[in-house]
């Protein structure tokens, strides 16, 4: 299967560095393809949120696929119920789902319709200009 790719979206700090803003870009989900979130765990600070808008008329299921980078991936996939409307998902056991390239794979149940995006905050210190 060739998965659709999305990237994590990060905030841009204003000139005072007191306020951060993210201009969100949503992607429609093609159920047959599934989603890969590239570099999902490059921030390493547990700030990743996956936001899914289920526009179908019924609940659906999301499968967060087990990764291949760490031993606790042996715990396997996890299935999450997606109610209709917007859900924000935060993964606490990052290494369970992280693939060797730092990405994560998501599969959607047949009948799901909607959009997805992923956001996180930067970890570490930014370069001084």
Where along the chain do its domains lie?
Answer: 4-14+22-119
- Per-residue pLDDT tens listing for the chain (129 residues): 699 999 999 888 777 778 888 889 999 999 999 999 998 887 767 789 999 999 999 999 999 999 999 999 999 999 999 999 999 999 888 889 999 999 999 999 999 999 999 998 876 555 555
CB neighbour class for 114 (10 Å; exposed up to 12, middle 13-18, buried from 19): buried
In this prediction the pTM is 0.88
Structure tokens at 109: 């149940």
* Overall CATH class of domain 4-14+22-119: mainly beta
| Alpha carbons 113 and 107: distance in angstroms, whole number | 12
| CB-based contact 35:3 (threshold 8 Å) | yes
DSSP type of residue 94: H
- For the beta carbon of residue 76, count every other beta carbon within 10 angstroms: 9
């Amino acid at each position: 299967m060739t998965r659709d790719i999305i990237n994590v979206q990060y905030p841009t700090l204003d000139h005072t560095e007191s306020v951060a803003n993210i201009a969100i870009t949503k992607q429609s989900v093609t159920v047959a393809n599934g989603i890969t979130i590239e570099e999902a765990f490059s921030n390493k600070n547990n700030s990743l949120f996956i936001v899914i808008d289920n526009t179908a008329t019924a609940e659906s299921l999301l499968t967060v696929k087990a990764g291949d980078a760490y031993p606790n991936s042996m715990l396997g996939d996890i299935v999450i119920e997606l109610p209709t409307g917007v859900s924000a998902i935060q993964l606490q056991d990052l290494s369970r789902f992280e693939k060797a390239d730092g990405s994560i794979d998501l599969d959607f149940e047949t009948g799901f319709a909607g959009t997805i995006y992923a956001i996180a905050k930067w970890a570490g210190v930014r370069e001084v200009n």
